[in-house]
Structure 1
Amino acid sequence: MLTQHIIRTAVEVALAEDAPYGDVTCETTIPADETGSASLTAREDGVMSGIDVFAAAFRAQNPAIEITPSIADGEPFHAGQALAAVSGPVRDLLTAERVALNFTQRMSGIATMTAAFVARVDAIYADGFRAANGPVVRPRRYERTRIVDTRKTTPGLRPFEKYAVRCGGGHNHRYGLSDAVMMKDNHLAALAARGIDLTGAIRHVRQQVGHTTHIEVEVDRLDQIPAVIAGGADTIMLDNFTLDDTRRGVELIDGRAIVEASGNMSLERVADVAATGVDVISVGALTHSVRSIDLGLDWLD
């Protein structure tokens, strides 16, 4: 998904956006032949994502810049830790600095938030955990409930943000509208206006798509579930359900479809939702409400 071509194209666009006619500050203050080195340093704890993108931003500015990472994507880091060293022409280092940091800080922020959600879910399977509304139920399809992202990504940066979710231990939902069928309330309302009921709507779609196409259906009430099961949906999304209704929904579906919980997921709530036995919890906040991790480029003597 996050290919070298995608990385190279994105960083070149970002560099052109930031310095369309050159870096006037560097060109008027730094001699063209001056060289130097700097360290990418963490200002706070986090999980790394985007170290290759960081390097690509400098290399796109000048292929002669040398980058030596000391951490890999998916690894945790601590405040004060040196994460990479860069060296080369000072003008080019300073011109590419902000673009390199912008990518890495945001991607690491996403990985860090994802890791926090995954840790909350993993904790429910340890001895002694008490769920808010009943015993911990294992999901039917996976060993543990999965944390997944959504399509609520920054336009143009989806490959980077979805990759960062995986660095944090999460999983990806569909990449885009072309990847799977997801029938939400407005789709169902449009079909109902043509006289097609819920079960019939799902069967209508199934007849039109290939046998490998996954079909997901969103429900917002328990009484919709039997019709969705009868239609043969592959995944049933329980949207904004209470904990009690989520648990009842899992029991109703009884392994006949993947169960996804969605809607206003928070770190405070996610463990109790996972304890109901859902297979997947989708969290839009991983990409639409994330805070970038504070990383800096410290100049070395």
Structure 2
Amino acid sequence: MRISPLPSIIIEPIVRAALLEDLGGAGDLTSDAIVPLEFPAVATLTARQPGIVAGLDVAALAFSLIDPSIKMAVALPDGSAVAAGETIATMSGRARGLLTAERTALNFLCHLSGIATATAMLVEAVHGHKARIVCTRKTTPGLRAPEKHAVRAGGGSNHRFGLDDAILVKDNHIAIAGGVRQAVGRARANAGHMVKIEVEVDTLSQLEEVLGLAVDAVLLDNMPLDELARAVMIADGRVVTEASGSITAATAAAVAATGVDLISVGWLTHSAPILDIGLDIVAVD
């Protein structure tokens, strides 16, 4: 699945902070000492294992912030499937800049491609069902935009981006408000006309109460499969149904078979393993 890159204005502060963390107060002591300033080189980004590519725009920015003369030719853009040993992109420019930006670029590219690869695995697991795989707000602090972009690159969809783009009434809100009805009432009274309201429910009795409150979606949290299927039947299309709670590639198909609209998976962004990608110098002059 090919998707458009994130705007540079969104990712530049993230990449700049990562480079500054790595450069410290003295810069790249190793490359500065060993590599002549104008020494040219060509390098490739090569996958060491199969997966889905994501984060090339972030990686490219890391190189260009260190040395604007470095050029990247992309062979497999974000959303592409890559085989082990396949070249994702080729960079050309001054060797010192390539080596200085290498680790920061790879940190982003491997992490984000890992998220895309894990997402694609879950999307494939629920193929044939209507359920969509969505991420959550369980993201690495500071990396929410690129991590959610990586989920899209893997064929998934995004849940809310933050606290400010939807209302999600959870168990602690309900406890403080004194009940589901009170919590939803307060939410509805303060929601703008474009803001949707979702309510987390743990039981079928809670679900039946929520369905009488004109909400937009219900989060069916950690329900057993038989109860989840019953919840979908009770909802009967009146609200969007979202299943959540320790869902893996092994269990996703069974969850999707209950008929839910969405399956939200927090580990996609907080615990997906990286995709192993390396940078290799392939030519020097």
User: What corresponds to 2:107 in structure 1?
Assistant: 102
The residue aligned with 2:125 is 120
Of 210, 227, 240, which residue of structure 1 is paired with 2:222? 240
Secondary structure of 2:77's aligned partner: coil
2:231 & 2:62 partners in 1: Cα distance?
A: 47
The residue aligned with 1:90 is 95
| Match status 1:2 vs 2:6 | yes
- CA distance in 2 between counterparts of 1:220 and 1:59 reads 49
Give the aligned length.
278
SS of the equivalent of 2:250 reads helix
Could you list the per-position Cα deviations for residues 213-249 of structure 1 after superposition, in whole angstroms to 9, with x for gaps in the alignment? Answer: 1100001111111110111111011100000000000
Runs of 5+ consecutive residues of structure 2 not aligned to the other structure: none
1:132 maps to none
Q: How does 1:137-148 map to 2 (within 5 A)?
A: 144-148=130-134
- Cα distance in 2 for partners of 1:93, 1:208 equals 51
The residue type paired with residue 37 of structure 2 is A
Aligned pair partner of 2:155 in 145, 163, 169: 169
Kept in 1, the 8 Å contact 2:173–2:183? The answer is no
Whether 2:51 is the aligned partner of 1:51: answer no
SS in 2 for 1:154: coil
For 1:249, the aligned partner's letter is: A
Distance 1:32 1:48 in 2: 31
Tell me the distance in 2 between the aligned counterparts of 1:23 and 1:203: 57
Which of residues 74, 79, 85 is equivalent to 1:74? 79
Contact map agreement 2:62 2:104 (CA 8 A) in 1: yes
Matched, 1:12 2:13: no
Alpha-carbon separation, structure 1, partners of 2:223 and 2:78: 35
Whether 2:23 is the aligned partner of 1:29: answer no
State yes or no: 1:268 paired with 2:273.
no
Q: Please list, as runs of the form range in 1=range in 2, the aligned pairs for 1:213-224 lying within 5 A after superposition.
A: 213-224=195-206
Give the counterpart letter for 2:206 in structure 1.
Answer: Q
TM-score for both structures, normalised by structure 1: 0.90
Shift in Å at residue 72 of structure 1?
A: 1.1
Indicate if the aligned counterparts of 1:198 and 1:231 stay in contact, CA closer than 8 A. Answer: no
Q: CA RMSD in A?
A: 1.1
Give the counterpart of 2:164 among 178, 184, 198: 178
Letter in 2 for 1:173: H
Q: Offset of 1:4 from its aligned partner?
A: 0.9
Q: Which residue of 2 aligns with 1:131?
A: none
The answer to whether the Cα contact below 8 Å between 1:200 and 1:231 also exists between their aligned partners in 2 is no
Question: Aligned partners of 1:156, 1:2: CA distance in 2, in Å?
Answer: 15
SS of the residue corresponding to residue 182 of structure 1 reads: strand
- Matches of 1:200 and 1:59 in 2, distance apart? 53
SS in 2 for 1:92: helix
Q: Please give the alpha-carbon distance, in whole angstroms, between the structure 1 residues aligned to 2:186 and 2:115.
A: 38
Instruction: Verify: 1:208 aligned to 2:190, yes or no.
Output: yes
TM-score, with length taken from structure 2: 0.95
Among all aligned residue pairs of Structure 1 and Structure 2, give the percentage whose two residues are the same amino acid: 48
In the alignment, what sits opposite 2:277?
Answer: 295
Structure 1 ranges of 4+ moved more than 4 A? none
Q: Which amino acid aligns with 2:31?
A: C
Give 1:66's aligned amino acid: K
How far apart, CA to CA, are the structure 2 residues paired with 1:288 and 1:7? 19
Letter in 2 for 1:7: I
* Deviation of the 1:53 alpha carbon: 1.4
Other structure's SS at 1:84 match? strand
Deviation of 1:87 (Å): 1.3
- Using the TM superposition, give the Cα deviation of residue 8 of structure 1 relative to its aligned residue in structure 2, in angstroms: 1.8
Instruction: Indicate the SS of the match to 2:212.
Output: helix
